[in-house]
Homo-oligomer: A and B are copies of this chain.
Amino acid sequence: MSAGPKFPQVEYEESTGALRECYDDVQSVLRVPWVMFAARSLAVFGGFVPAAWRAAAPVFATEQVERAADELRALAVLPGEDPPDPRRRLAGLGFGEDRIAEVRAALAALNHGNAQYLLLITAWCEGVQGRASGGGPSAGAPGAPRPSGLPDGMAALHMVDPRDADERVAGLLTRVTDMHLHHGPSSDFRVLAQWPDFLEVALDDVLGPVVRTPAYEAIALALLDRARAHVRRFPAPAGLSPEQALAVCTESEVAAVTGLLFLFQRFILDVTIDMVRCTQALDGRGAAASSPFSVREA
């Protein structure tokens, strides 16, 4: 990763008009405190994001997505032993339980969102590549509605801007990026960069030993397959076909969107696994495999 130019995107604070409304609706429907990097980047290209969100919103407002995301979150736990508890090294750095609690709360919000964003980007990716993003032969009936709006007790998230980061934090974000062969730091790691001691220990002990190993790749593939299977069962397409995308984008914008959706799909797969594993390091497999904010039928 370069410390150079920022990847083009429309950040939440910069969004206006229909895009701001769309960003707010995404956060309210998914019940998360941030808009995925993918959507912020895609927002640069024509009217894709608002139109694609209009296609996705109906199914994302139902329990079908809540249950699918629950399944993906559980599947994202790597097999094998738990990672070492970062508290041991962190205690030596004076990083105590009060700050661990801040990290835990951020991870809970991120884990709640990542699995849903994986479903969203998979629907958009399948759609723009000309495959079914719902409404096909295996589609089910529309699911029951689920609540909207940020869950009680979910932490607000703050993302460090890599351009404003000090040398140590910039170095950690470069390390994250290059370790995954990404093009830049994800929202999730920009959040964790608020706690550089935690991020460094996580990279050394929790993520570094597993990222891009065969076991990690196998879970990424399994997550992709399951995400696709869930999307195919959506009652109606949650993505735009190339023809539909051309109604809101130029031809080259559709090409750009196609490339970026593919890139960010892999990106979100990685980050989903990583954040689940950070939670596993702090609180064990059970906590990692579920979201405290998931709504279950009474």
Contact = CB atoms under 8 A, between A and B. Distances in A.
Main secondary structure of the interface of A (DSSP, over half): helix
Contacts of A251: 5, 8, 44
Interface in A119-162: 128-131
Interface in A1-23: 1-5, 7-8
A101 interface: no
A252 B262 contact: no
A255 interface: yes
Contacts of A295: none
- Central interface residue in A1, A45, A252, A261, by most chain B CB within 10 Å: A252
Interface in A178-223: 178, 181-184, 212, 214, 217-218, 221
Contacts of A255: 7-8, 41, 44, 256, 260
17 contacts: A1-B130, A4-B130, A5-B243, A5-B254, A8-B251, A44-B251, A129-B183, A130-B174, A252-B256, A255-B256, A256-B256, A256-B259, A256-B260, A257-B259, A258-B260, A259-B261, A262-B262
